């Protein structure tokens, strides 16, 4: 079968868009690579953060609904998002996060890697993973974090399941991951991508939460093009999954379905990417709308708050 290349992006729900933008650009040092709107609710931003180029596997996106209820981790959710940082950056990040008065977890080890845990302003659980692969990948040189310490991309995500086996089979049989380790009720699946190569599944997750601010909306996995997407869609349909029609998200094509435990999965193409409508040095600098919303630009711009004020 084809080799599917790990996580494409993860999309979460935030509250205040200004607070979200300040935290992820100034504290986490990610680049705002695309500023657009939720295509299903154009009164709300869709903000994409990533590395300098917005490579697939580096992207965490947000729908900031200010008046939504606070969420809590629950079965059938992605309950943690992890980023790869160079192995020599621990002291920098501990000092940097403490200087921003963040309540952080002291470094701990899991599956042979050291991790710093923290939460974003809405309570989304984040992890900074000291990852040897990050040492050979350049950081963003024009960001607020020194290049040698900067986040390189997504490391992976943690899924909370009542029973890990359904999602595990899906990852192994169709998405190119392999089960490589187990620690108590936590299962490690990996693929050979530079970014977004790790999925951990917590089996028998026993917290009862709810969706809302500070929770993940969906997780997307990469395919190289539309042909590979259609091939995978056909295989999943034959396996009994219900998948949506292909949706044009301007920067990738997407299909969606729920894995056996209820988490919303997306299959997203690598092309055309975020430079289709902005030059690399201008990424995220202006509001981009799909063609079918351009006639409403003046109304949409009035409704959206300014992120930098």
Note whether residue 173 is domain-resident: yes
Domain count, the chain: 1
Q: So what's the pLDDT on residue 89? A: 97
Note whether residue 265 is domain-resident: yes
Calpha distance 236→230 (Å, rounded): 10
Indicate the pTM of the whole model.
Answer: 0.96
Calpha distance 250→294 (Å, rounded): 13
Average confidence score pLDDT of the chain: 95
Q: So what's the pLDDT on residue 309? A: 53
Note whether residue 297 is domain-resident: yes
Burial of 293 by CB count in 10 Å (0-12 exposed, 13-18 middle, 19+ buried)?
middle
Tokens of 239: 């396996």
Contact call for residues 179 and 79 (beta carbons, < 8 A): no
Mean pLDDT (whole number) for 168-190: 97
Estimate the crossing angle of helix 226-238 against helix 165-174, to 10 degrees. Answer: 140
Q: So what's the pLDDT on residue 75? A: 87
Q: So what's the pLDDT on residue 3? A: 52
Note whether residue 2 is domain-resident: no
Number of continuous H segments (helices) and E segments (strands) in the chain: 5, 16
Domain CATH for 266: 3.10.180.10
- pLDDT higher than 80, residue 1: no
Q: So what's the pLDDT on residue 5? A: 84
- pLDDT higher than 90, residue 266: yes
Note whether residue 308 is domain-resident: no
- Render pLDDT for 22-50 as a digit per residue (tens, 0 to 9): 999 999 999 999 999 999 999 999 999 99
Mean pLDDT (whole number) for 278-291: 96
Note whether residue 1 is domain-resident: no
Burial of 67 by CB count in 10 Å (0-12 exposed, 13-18 middle, 19+ buried)?
exposed
Note whether residue 78 is domain-resident: yes
Note whether residue 255 is domain-resident: yes
Q: Do the bridges between strand 77-85 and strand 125-130 make them parallel or antiparallel, or are there none, so unpaired? A: parallel
Tokens of 47: 């903000």
- Residue-range definition of the domain harbouring residue 174: 7-303
């Amino acid at each position: 079968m084809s080799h599917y290349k790990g996580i494409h992006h993860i999309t979460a729900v935030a509250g205040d868009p200004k607070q979200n933008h300040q935290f992820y650009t100034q504290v986490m040092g990610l680049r705002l690579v695309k500023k657009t709107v939720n295509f299903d609710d154009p009164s709300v931003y869709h903000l994409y953060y990533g590395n300098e180029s917005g490579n697939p596997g580096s992207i965490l996106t947000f729908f900031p609904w200010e008046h939504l209820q606070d969420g809590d981790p629950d079965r059938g959710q992605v309950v943690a998002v992890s980023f790869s940082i160079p192995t020599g950056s621990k002291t920098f990040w501990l000092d940097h996060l403490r200087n921003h008065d963040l309540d952080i977890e002291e470094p701990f080890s899991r599956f042979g890697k050291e991790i710093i845990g923290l939460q974003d302003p809405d309570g989304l659980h984040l992890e900074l993973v000291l990852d040897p692969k990050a040492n050979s990948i350049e950081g963003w040189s024009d960001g607020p974090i020194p290049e040698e310490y900067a986040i390189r991309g997504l490391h992976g995500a943690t899924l909370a399941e009542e029973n890990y086996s359904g999602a595990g089979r899906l990852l192994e049989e169709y998405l190119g991951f392999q089960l490589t380790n187990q620690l108590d009720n936590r299962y490690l699946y990996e693929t050979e991508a530079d970014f977004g190569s790790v999925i951990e599944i917590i089996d028998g997750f026993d917290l009862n939460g709810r969706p809302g601010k500070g929770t993940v909306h969906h997780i997307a996995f990469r395919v190289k093009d539309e042909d590979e997407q259609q091939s995978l869609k056909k295989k999943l349909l034959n396996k009994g999954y219900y998948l949506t029609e292909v949706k044009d998200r301007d920067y990738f094509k997407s299909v969606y379905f729920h894995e056996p435990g209820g988490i919303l999965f997306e299959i997203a193409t690598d092309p055309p990417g975020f430079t289709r409508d902005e030059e690399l040095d201008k990424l995220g600098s202006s509001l981009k709308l799909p063609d079918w919303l351009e006639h409403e630009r003046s109304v949409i711009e009035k409704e959206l708050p300014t992120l930098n004020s």
